[in-house]
Amino acid sequence: MSFSRCALLWARLPAGRQAGHRAAICSALRPHFGPFPGLLGQVSVLATASSSASGGSKIPNTSLFVPLTVKPQGPSADGDVGAELTRPLDKNEVKKVLDKFYKRKEVQKLGADYGLDARLFHQAFISFRNYIMQSHSLDVDIHIVLNDICFGAAHVDDLFPFFLRHAKQIFPVLDCKDDLRKISDLRIPPNWYPDARAVQRKIIFHSGPHQTGKTYTHPEITLAKVWSVFGPLKLLAHEIFEKSNGCEERVTVHPDGKQASHVSCTVEMCSVTTPYEVAVIDEIQMIRDPARGWAWTRALLGLCAEEVHLCGEPAAIDLVMELMYTTGEEVEVRDYKRLTPISVLDHALESLDNLRPGDCIVCFSKNDIYSVSRQIEIRGLESAVIYGSLPPGTKLAQAKKFNDPSDPCKILVATDAIGMGLNLSIRRIIFYSLIKPSINEKGEKELEPITTSQALQIAGRAGRFSSQFKEGEVTTMNHEDLSLLKEILKRPVDPITAAGLHPTAEQIEMFAYHLPDATLSNLIDIFVDFSQVDGQYFVCNMDDFKFSAELIQHIPLSLRVRYIFCTAPINKKQPFVCSSLLQFARQYSRNEPLTFAWLRRYIKWPLLPPRNIKDLMDLEAVHDVLDLYLWLSYRFMDMFPDASLIRDLQKELDGIIQDGVHNITKLIKVSETHKLLNLESFPSVSQSRLSGTLKSQARRTRGTKALGSKATEPPSANAGELSLASRLVQQGLLTPDMLKQLEKEWMTQQTECSKERTESGTHPKGTRRKKKEPDSD
């Protein structure tokens, strides 16, 4: 039967008889228009649904499915074939049919079998209805079915195959859920690293607390021709780099850019394809870190080394042995004891007047760092300052200054950055607070007491075998925190039960093959939701990655390049660093190399020494931008070609920052004068015990008990409403003697004023002549 003959017969048939002859007509039209997923194909479609819906996988989070836009069809060049075969559709009647279809419970249930929950079903229907109502002409198959339904020759349920086809267009994930689940199956991570599985590795776990010498007792390293050290901080890598270059004649970084035989870098930078004789992974307990744990897992499972030395806490031994059991590798455990004793004091510091040489005050915020440093200077003492955002060179310079017995600097003020990667001659660790902001696995900020592991790591820095302080001491700034500290330190360290994982670029690329229109951030969300892990692993928090992905989403980049840019470590709290990532990505997309000259102009080099704290923070941000350039230069050498020049520039900037930190108290003073820094109050959190566990129950605002005097204590009525005198004392702008002298002068002046009023017989309106008590103000 020819097409024209078929069309003529169809047009002559009454509407009631068209349905009976639809099979013959559709058979004739199939070569021209393809298969019809109408009533004839409904049985096969339903059969497919039952088999597709029979999986036992977890229900996906459909809120992550972002609908695509399906535009209505405009006028067709061939005309409205469906209308020619039947008749034009009455849009009002069609709308009634669609509304009836939406309300059918059987249709909603059938949609659920295909993965369309109530949310997706509603979104898909709205899109489907708009498509039907706004199209100038519809595909012939759906036009015929709608016409039959309007004339009572077909059932409204016959629309379901067309609705499902449309739903899969706007939610392509519905059509490939099984494939996506296979791609995101993370239950056997050792199989991701075939090169490492081909090597018979020897795993040695050096277990023990800090100050045991475990990191420096590896004769195998110095004898190896090719070795690598991977740690959590650039600081540690920098220190090992300096020491290695200082004791060896060979240059560990080749001028021509070739891979050096001796490598020291952060664990995220480790190569899982380069063969080594010996590799060292430091701080292996960070394999549980919610954000960075994946890097330690990758290094542990993927390093191609004949010997892999792990250094870290005993809490990680069981997990490491379990993971190595799955790779068929045995673990040799070497235990180490602390070389110097350490004790928790029975009294708190209470006042900065009680500081002694070798003391280190540990703070968990920059504001506290600035405040304490300022108050120490007022007492005529000099202090070194170390916090996380300082460049590695500046941290090492401050550490060297503090460690030098001939240097007048005898006090250290630092964050918990001292817990890793620095060797310091500390006599006594003083916790300024026990509350540390943290990010949980959901990416939420929490204020909780430090964990036993964190407390031990920081406290363990007191007392160093090779220093003048052979015995370490630990205490707190405030007496009320001391009992809590003792309880934290006595608690056993919870064993590490799971290692972090992170989707690889290859896995995301396979995801994108099935979901080509999804953004990278959305791909990550869906991947994490579909992922399957066993009890030994967890998927790390991806918020920082998604932040970068959304930041550069509008820039045209290939998926692999976009993925690499998003893994670049940046501080998203630094606007200049974030805008630099954006600018670097934009330059890359234009195929314009980021040269040394371009970067100098971008950062407005040369830079002036800092005049206040804000200037210092800006310089730290510029240093981070140079770090970002160097990080990208390892991945895209042709587009970031001037790494050696940038490294020299960074050293020069490091020197400027060092000078600023050396004069940090002057910068703080200027910042306070110009109201660029607010150090009036410092939020903290009081702790209480509940059923044997430590919980943060209530927040309180407390000032530093800096002077050990009644005159410095805030009013007991409300700790949040401090008098001007109390605030000035907290800021270190007043001393007890100065405050007493001011009180005497004020009382003398008030007495003289009272005498004058008595002699003149006048008083200010609304006041009484009453002698002021000395303590009333």
| CATH classification number, 201-335, choose in 3.10.20.30, 1.10.3720.10, 3.40.50.300, 3.30.750.210 | 3.40.50.300
CATH 1.10.1740.140 residue ranges of the chain are 62-170
Rounded Cα distance, 624 and 549, in Å: 19
Q: Where are the alpha helices (DSSP H) in 38-117?
A: 42-52, 81-85, 91-103, 105-113
280: helix, strand or coil: strand
Regions of the chain short of the pLDDT cut 50: 1-56, 219, 222-223, 244-253, 680-721, 762-777
What residues contact 123, with CB distance under 8 A and at least 6 apart? 67, 170, 171
Rounded Cα distance, 581 and 566, in Å: 9
Question: Count of CB atoms within 10 A of residue 605's CB?
Answer: 13
CATH 1.20.58.1080 residue ranges of the chain are 554-675
CATH class of 62-170: mainly alpha
77: helix, strand or coil: coil
Token pair of 693 as six digits: 């566990």
Instruction: Record the pTM.
Output: 0.76
Strand partners, 278: 227, 307
592: helix, strand or coil: coil
CATH class of 342-490: alpha beta
Cα 458 → chain centroid:
22
Is the Cβ–Cβ distance between 533 and 565 less than 8 Å?
no
Predicted local confidence at residue 550, as pLDDT: 96
CATH 3.40.50.300 residue ranges of the chain are 201-335, 342-490
- SS percent in the chain: helix, strand, coil, step 5: 50, 15, 35
The three state secondary structure string of 161-225 is HHHHHHHHHHCHHHHCHHHHHHHCECCCHHHHCHHHHCCCCEEEEEECCCCCCHHHCCHHHHHCC
Which secondary-structure segment (H or E) carries 264?
strand 262-266
Q: In what order do the strands lie in the sheet with 227-231?
A: 262-266, 227-231, 275-281, 304-312, 202-207, 331-335
The CA–CA distances, whole Å, from 341 to 195, 405, 482, 590 equal 44, 22, 19, 60
| CATH classification number, 554-675, choose in 2.60.40.1180, 2.60.40.10, 1.20.58.1080, 3.30.230.10 | 1.20.58.1080
Q: Give the residue among 148, 155, 151, 162 at the shortest CA–CA distance from 82.
A: 148
Query: In 478-581, at which residue ranges do the beta strands (DSSP E only) sit?
Result: 499-501, 537-539
Is the Cβ–Cβ distance between 252 and 244 less than 8 Å?
yes
Burial annotation 744-771 (CB, 10 A radius, 16+ → b, else e): eeeeeeeeeeeeeeeeeeeeeeeeeeee
Q: What are phi and psi of 221, to 5 degrees?
A: -70, -50
Tell me the Ramachandran region of residue 455: left when phi exceeds 0, alpha when psi lies from -120 to 50, beta otherwise: alpha
Question: Over the Cα atoms of the chain, what is R_g?
Answer: 35
Predicted local confidence at residue 81, as pLDDT: 87
Alpha carbons within 13 angstroms on the beta-carbon side of residue 422 total 30
Question: Count of CB atoms within 10 A of residue 145's CB?
Answer: 27
Tokens 């649904």 correspond to what residue? 49
